[in-house]
Amino acid sequence: MQYNESQKRQIWDNTTKPIIASNGVYLHNLYALDYRNNEVHWNCFGDRESEFGWEIDHIIPVALGGRTIPRNLRVSHWKPNAILGGMLSARLNNRC
């Protein structure tokens, strides 16, 4: 799914926790923690080569009836999101 900058910003602002630098500067517009407390950087959206890359994740997966609406979307570091997505896919493909 493609997201425009406004949609990404809304999801970022609503689902990440801010990082405050040691000098007390509030950096939430560029750096944050996802719901698993993984550090993510705004400029690394969709970058699976970056240790700070992130994606937009469905809280309730589409495969399980989740919808692509703001309250069902969150920021997720790409690596655990890819692992969990692969696990769900494997489980769904091996259903009896």
pLDDT of residue 93: 64
Total Cβ atoms within 10 A of residue 15: 19
pLDDT of residue 75: 97
Indicate whether 84 pLDDT > 90: no
* Rounded Cα gap, residues 53 and 82, in angstroms: 12
Mean pLDDT, the chain, integer = 88
At 46-57, the pLDDT tens digits run: 999 999 999 999
96 vs 69 pLDDT, higher one: 69
The number of C-alpha atoms within 13 Å of 41 and in the hemisphere containing its C-beta is 9
Report the candidate in 52, 50, 3, 49 with the shortest Cα–Cα distance to residue 30: 52
Report the candidate in 68, 56, 63, 62 with the shortest Cα–Cα distance to residue 16: 56
pTM of structure: 0.82
Indicate whether 37 pLDDT > 80: yes
* Rounded Cα gap, residues 89 and 91, in angstroms: 5
Mean pLDDT score, 64-78: 94
The number of C-alpha atoms within 13 Å of 74 and in the hemisphere containing its C-beta is 19
Evaluate whether 17 touches 31 at the Cβ level (below 8 Å).
Answer: no
